Amino acid sequence: MSQYQSLKDELESLQNQVNGNNPNAAVAFEKYIQYLRDQGVGNGLKTGDKAPDFRLEDASGKLITLSEELVKSAVILIFYRGEWCPFCNLQLKAYERIMKDIKAAGAQLIAISPQTPDHSLSTKEKNELSFFVLSDTNNETAEKYNLKFKMPDFMHANLTMLAQYNGDHSFELPIPATYVIDKEGFIIGSSSDINHRTRMEPSEVLELVRFLNQG
């Protein structure tokens, strides 16, 4: 049994809270998920694929390159929607709780969203994160990983703040995804889901990293 609190339980609790506060939330969410299914959204890169390289700005303005970081260690790569998403914040905090274990296992963590650097900094400070939080302008890196999609028109009224967070009016976001990338640049573990209320369990990611570095 894991010594860490289950992210799955935290996410389910938040989902119940959201549905309880808004009786129409569950119906609207199902409509949204069905739309994404119908559009064929959600086919991100998978285990065995080569991870596309990227060079993105972190919360302090420093440029971070994936290939350069892989020289140092394996990388856990997380695509999240933004600091406005409470499910994303729970996920990032859950990983921060095990960062010492991740580093001890020989890996580091990089989180990416389409937010501007200012909002990436806000995410990092608000959640007290010790790992890189990068800004993926126009979701260009998310597109390389087959994760970029456009929110349906019927959701725009609920997401007017996206222009402020992302610095554009595209209503584009990444499908939330988690990748474990070995030092050769290959994806050895992956999870992406159009349902942004479900995420890969951090303890599972940690076990993957430990297994990778035992070889």
The model's pLDDT over 95-135, given as tens digits with 9 standing for 90+, comes to 999 999 999 999 999 999 999 999 998 889 988 999 999 99
DSSP per-residue letters across 1-24: --SSPPHHHHHHHHHHHHHHH-TT
- Provide the pLDDT for residue 19: 66
- Tens of pLDDT, residue by residue over 52-69, are 999 999 988 999 999 999
Average pLDDT over every residue of 21-29: 74
Residue at 141: amino acid letter: T
pLDDT band at 178; cut points 50, 70, 90:
very high
The pLDDT value given to residue 5: 65
Share of the chain above pLDDT 70, in %: 95
Does residue 150 contact residue 171 with C-beta atoms inside 8 Å?
A: yes
Residue 105, CB-side half-sphere exposure with 13 Å CA sphere:
23
Instruction: Give the pLDDT band of residue 4 (cuts 50, 70, 90).
Output: low
- 1 band by pLDDT with thresholds 50, 70 and 90: very low
Percent of the chain's residues with pLDDT above 90: 66
**pTM recorded for the entire structure:** 0.91
The confidence score (pLDDT) of residue 192 equals 92
Phi, psi of 167 (to 5 degrees): 75, 20
The yes-or-no verdict on residue 171 having pLDDT over 60 is yes
Please provide residue 158's backbone torsions phi and psi, each rounded to the nearest 5 degrees.
-85, -5
d(CA 61, CA 120): 10
For the chain, which residues make up each domain, given as ranges? Answer: 7-213
Closest CA to 196 of 122, 77, 91, 45: 91
Class of domain 7-213: alpha beta
pLDDT for position 15: 78
- How far is Cα 168 from Cα 183, in angstroms, rounded to an integer? 34
